[in-house]
Structure 1
Amino acid sequence: MPATVREINGAELEQVISTGKVLVKFYSKTCGPCKMLKFVLNDVAKVVDDVEIVTIDFDENKDILEKYAVSSYPTMIVFKDGKEVERVKGLQQKPKIIQMLS
């Protein structure tokens, strides 16, 4: 089943990343590259399976940023069963994101 992209808040993050493979995008509503990345992630979601893709607003969830050492946006972190397996900062292209998830 194709993935979907959904918004969560910092309080939900622990539960979401606890099982399976999850891509978390930390973003800001005022960030140009973050807005472009939204379209890229929607495109990625159409071609990947067994991955959950979630986004967290940087400005509304500052408490979770420190816990995961997120200092800039956009930042994407891939978690597998609750453990961080990869992290990238900045706008990424579809092939790079798909490679991260494989």
Structure 2
Amino acid sequence: MAIVHLSKDNFKEEVLESKVPVLVDFWATWCGPCQTMGPLVEEIAEERADIKVCKLDVDQEPELARQYRVMSIPTFLVFKEGEVVKRDMGVMSKEEVEGLIG
């Protein structure tokens, strides 16, 4: 499944109203660790049909980053039924990211 790029316009529909778990990668283009995690996040999106994988650029959507208390990036949030159930940040292995999803 392709990565969904989030904005305030599609966040509710794509994340909060999703019927499947959603992994959201809060990132920015200038962030080195975010660039490191990018290919790994894309890999997970391609391999896992049971979840939705989204990316949210914190520079384009600072209100959403603030709302979810994203203080440093990359930050990964897992949403189930519209609620944040897991969160972690920084450079992680693929196994660690998938461990957040369950």
- The alignment's TM-score, normalised by the length of structure 2, stands at 0.89
Cα-Cα RMSD = 1.2
2:78 counterpart of 1:78: yes
Where does structure 1 lack aligned partners over 5 or more consecutive residues? Answer: none
After the TM superposition, which residues 29-40 of structure 1 pair with which residues of structure 2 at under 5 Å, given as runs?
29-40=29-40
Match of 2:5 among 7, 16, 36: 7
Structure 1 runs (4+) deviating above 6 angstroms are none
Aligned residues between the structures: 100
Task: Tell me the CA shift for residue 8 of structure 1.
Answer: 1.7
SS in 1 for 2:26: strand
C-alpha displacement at 1:93, in angstroms? 1.0
Aligned-partner residue type, residue 95 of structure 2: P
* Alpha-carbon offset, residue 89 of structure 1: 0.8
Unaligned runs of 5+ in 2: none
- Output the CA distance in 1 between the equivalents of 2:68 and 2:4: 19
Please tell me whether the aligned partners of residues 4 and 45 of structure 1 are also in contact (alpha carbons under 8 angstroms): yes
Question: What is the CA distance between 1:6 and its match in structure 2?
Answer: 2.6
Q: Give the deviation of 1:91 after TM superposition.
A: 1.2
Instruction: State the TM-score, normalizing by the size of structure 1.
Output: 0.89
Shift of 1:46: 3.1
